[in-house]
Structure 1
């Protein structure tokens, strides 16, 4: 089944991981490092997007609500509706912190910060 934009409803995680992420101004802001899955509801909690750093040193990880990512075929990457300042000020974590408390702390902070509609309610 396809979405309104012609994309399919399903995608393998291996195709998402490593995909570049841009803001609406076309600036490259990072790459999808991983996705956090909620096993009990079969939903995607958030994408883990790596910002900055070099070869993994100094990189920050952000939990971006999955529904905020829109795939752009021309860029061959995802676009988020946030500018660089919003992203710089967003909560950032280590990979270990993203998974603490089953990821709920990072999920809640992310959805609150980006004012995204909670999928779990």
Structure 2
């Protein structure tokens, strides 16, 4: 049975592989919409060496495949070349616009689920 809930800290640092078994990177963080409580995207670090020179990429949570058997591993259906062309950002300049979030969902072929705002 797949996990239904995970803490943000349990995801941070988790290794990510593509379906071919290649290491893609590590989960660095989760971006959360404070109005709705929705996870907007997962921040993946890719490239570099020992945290230096890493590129950061936003990935919709829906694009990740979680396994009950391999808790320390998350998979995604993307090859390294496609990831290099994905919407990315500098770790010192995180994008905060709605347009960026929509571009992430468009790139991976997901429709962003919108929840009504809490009042």
Q: TM-score, normalised by structure 1?
A: 0.84
**Aligned residue pair count:** 114
> Structure with the greater relative contact order (CA < 8 A, sep ≥ 6): 1 or 2?
2
- SS of 1:29's partner is strand
Aligned residue runs from structure 1 range 1-40, under 5 A:
6-40=1-35
Pick the aligned partner of 1:83 from 75, 79, 83: 79
Question: How far did residue 66 of structure 1 move?
Answer: 0.5
Aligned to 2:110: 116
Gaps of 5+ in 2: none
Contact residue 42 and residue 61 of structure 2 kept, 8 A: yes
Runs (4+) of structure 1 exceeding 4 A deviation are none
Kindly indicate which of the two structures has a greater share of residues assigned to helix.
Answer: 1
RMSD: 1.8
Q: TM-score, normalised by structure 2?
A: 0.85
Gaps of 5+ in 1: 1-5
Distance 2:50 2:72 in 1: 22
Distance 1:69 1:30 in 2: 13
